[in-house]
């Protein structure tokens, strides 16, 4: 018997991680929810209201105008909102333009949130090492749950860059900075993760699993990914099943790239879940 089934738990986990990643910028905007602009100009409150309503171009235009006026604190917060609005419009050049100078802002909250949003932009562009550095900088400037969220994202970015040691350090920082038990449990899952693999098939009989593993060894992909392995686990009814898997990857994206070279159906799964 040969079966390929979807790993719904992994899919839910990846969707949840992506939702949090994109939602973090909305959460951070609270830092600039008050204040007034120069005479006749936009206020921080008005710009934030436009942002919250999804009027990102309007928020960006108002923030750019206000970033040239007022005192230093107002200009910094307006620049942050300009960069944040640009991020939502995927205008990454403007993200860099308005947020990079804020990395040296005297207010650590503004500097930290700017670094965090730069990290989000780098993640979307696939610049994982740069993203990890920005998230790490954000975690060093922020406090409480914001610090925890930034460190967690630094860990995810380091994993995507295949830097498992640095990722573990950031996950430990994230766990220690948070008092949210659900968040701590999420971080703990990352700490316990042994990486990703490609599941080639599931069989009720070990001989069939061994046959598939041998067949894979004759493919061109085997030379690049490595030999197939077999793990025994329990099915939904408690029966013993044999999982044929190949490769060990530090990141989900690396596993996806490897899957493209396998000329047969394969599912990306975490090592700790493949036989559960």
CATH number at residue 234: 3.30.70.1070
Q: Can you read off the two tokens belonging to residue 152? A: 């967690």
Tell me: pLDDT of 87 over 70.
yes
Same structural domain, 188 and 203: no
CA–chain centroid gap for 236, Å, is 31
Tell me: pLDDT of 44 over 50.
yes
Sorting pLDDT into bands at 50, 70 and 90, what band is 82? very high
Same structural domain, 47 and 184: yes
Domains: count for the chain: 2
Residue 230 DSSP symbol: E
Q: Can you read off the two tokens belonging to residue 9? A: 């738990």
- Looking at 168, 192, 216, the residue that finishes a domain is 192
Average of per-residue pLDDT across 130-144? 96
Within a domain: 185: yes
Looking at the chain, the whole-number percentage of residues with pLDDT higher than 90 is 46
Across the chain, what does the average pLDDT equal? 82
Question: What number of CA atoms fall less than 13 Å from residue 203's CA on the CB side?
Answer: 17
Same structural domain, 148 and 21: yes
Looking at the chain, the whole-number percentage of residues with pLDDT higher than 70 is 83
Give CA–CA dist 1/17, Å, rounded: 34
Give CA–CA dist 57/84, Å, rounded: 11
Residue with tokens 């609270």: 30
Residue 142 DSSP symbol: -
- Looking at 192, 226, 259, the residue that finishes a domain is 192
Residue 31 DSSP symbol: G
Reported pTM: 0.67
Same structural domain, 50 and 36: yes
Average of per-residue pLDDT across 142-153? 95
**Higher per-residue pLDDT: 223 or 166:** 166
Question: How many other CB atoms sit within 10 Å of the CB of residue 151?
Answer: 27
Same structural domain, 162 and 221: no
- Looking at 192, 225, 254, the residue that finishes a domain is 192
- Minimum mean pLDDT range among 83-92, 174-183, 187-196: 187-196
pLDDT of residue 38: 53
Give CA–CA dist 119/136, Å, rounded: 9
Tell me: pLDDT of 165 over 90.
no
**Higher per-residue pLDDT: 249 or 181:** 181
**Residue 249, beta-bridge partner list:** 196
Give the structural domain span for 29: 8-192
CATH of the domain at 47: 1.25.40.10
Same structural domain, 166 and 188: yes
Average of per-residue pLDDT across 200-204? 91
- Minimum mean pLDDT range among 28-32, 90-94, 240-244: 28-32
Give CA–CA dist 192/202, Å, rounded: 24
Within a domain: 87: yes
């Amino acid at each position: 018997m040969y079966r390929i089934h979807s790993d719904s738990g992994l899919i839910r986990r990846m969707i949840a991680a992506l939702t949090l990643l994109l939602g973090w910028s909305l959460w951070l905007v609270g830092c600039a929810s008050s204040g007034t602009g120069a005479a006749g100009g936009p206020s921080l409150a008005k710009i934030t209201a436009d942002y919250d309503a999804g009027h990102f171009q309007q928020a960006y235009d108002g923030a750019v105008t206000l970033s040239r006026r007022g005192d230093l604190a107002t200009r910094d917060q307006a620049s942050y909102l300009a960069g944040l609005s640009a991020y939502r419009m995927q205008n990454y050049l403007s993200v860099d333009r308005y947020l990079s100078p804020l990395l040296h802002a005297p207010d650590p909250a503004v500097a930290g949130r700017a670094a965090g949003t730069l990290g989000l932009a780098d993640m979307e562009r696939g610049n994982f090492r740069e993203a990890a550095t920005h998230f790490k900088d954000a975690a060093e400037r922020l406090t409480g749950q914001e610090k925890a969220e930034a460190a967690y994202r630094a860990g995810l970015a380091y994993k995507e860059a295949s830097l498992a040691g640095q990722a573990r350090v950031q996950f430990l920082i994230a766990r220690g900075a948070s008092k949210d038990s659900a968040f701590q449990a999420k971080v703990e899952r990352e700490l316990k993760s042994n990486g990703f693999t490609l599941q080639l098939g599931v069989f009720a009989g070990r001989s069939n699993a061994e046959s598939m593993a041998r067949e894979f060894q004759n493919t061109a992909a085997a030379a690049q990914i490595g030999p197939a392995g077999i793990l025994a686990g329990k099915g939904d009814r408690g029966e013993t099943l044999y999982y044929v898997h190949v490769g060990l990857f530090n990141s989900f994206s690396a596993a996806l790239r490897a899957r493209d070279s396998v000329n047969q159906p394969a599912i990306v799964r975490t090592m700790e879940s493949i036989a559960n």
